[in-house]
Structure 1
Amino acid sequence: MAMTLRLSAEEDRALALLARAQGSSKREAAVRAIVTAAARTLDDAAVVQLARESVREYTAAEERLR
């Protein structure tokens, strides 16, 4: 599903810095941030599974917490 995300100049800069730090595109950085935040916030098994499958950092952090 397509979506347009409107960001302020400051938000776009933050996203660009995040993407650069992750070695990814801004799109991928935004997706990772959304999935990670959703997995941490929601009690939803499907979201947690999505995070495990798509965000390596989430799985590594989850393993460290065990």
Structure 2
Amino acid sequence: MTLRLTEEEDLALAATAERLGISKQEAARQAIRMFTDERARFEDIVTRAVDRFGPVLDKLK
């Protein structure tokens, strides 16, 4: 797979990788894992909130 970045994105990735002492590839992989983990947590919270408060919100319609 080839990851195409803008110059600005590549500079940010390079700076992050250097600051963390890892390769740009590893920095990108970590960023992807962090994003997908955070997204999954967000979706879980939303699902639980809808399950818990959905009936009350429906009554407000």
Give TM-score, length-normalised by structure 1: 0.59
Report deviation, 1:42: 1.3
Structure 1: give runs of 5+ residues left out of the alignment. 44-66
Structure ranking higher in helix proportion: 2
% identical equivalent positions:
49
Of 37, 52, 55, which residue of structure 2 is paired with 1:39?
37
- Runs (4 or more) in structure 1 with deviation over 4 Å come to none
Structure 2: give runs of 5+ residues left out of the alignment. 42-61
Give TM-score, length-normalised by structure 2: 0.64
Deviation string 1:23-64 (CA, Å, 9 cap, x unpaired) is 000000000000011101115xxxxxxxxxxxxxxxxxxxxx
Would you say how many aligned residue pairs link Structure 1 and Structure 2? 42
Counterpart in the other structure of 2:7: 9
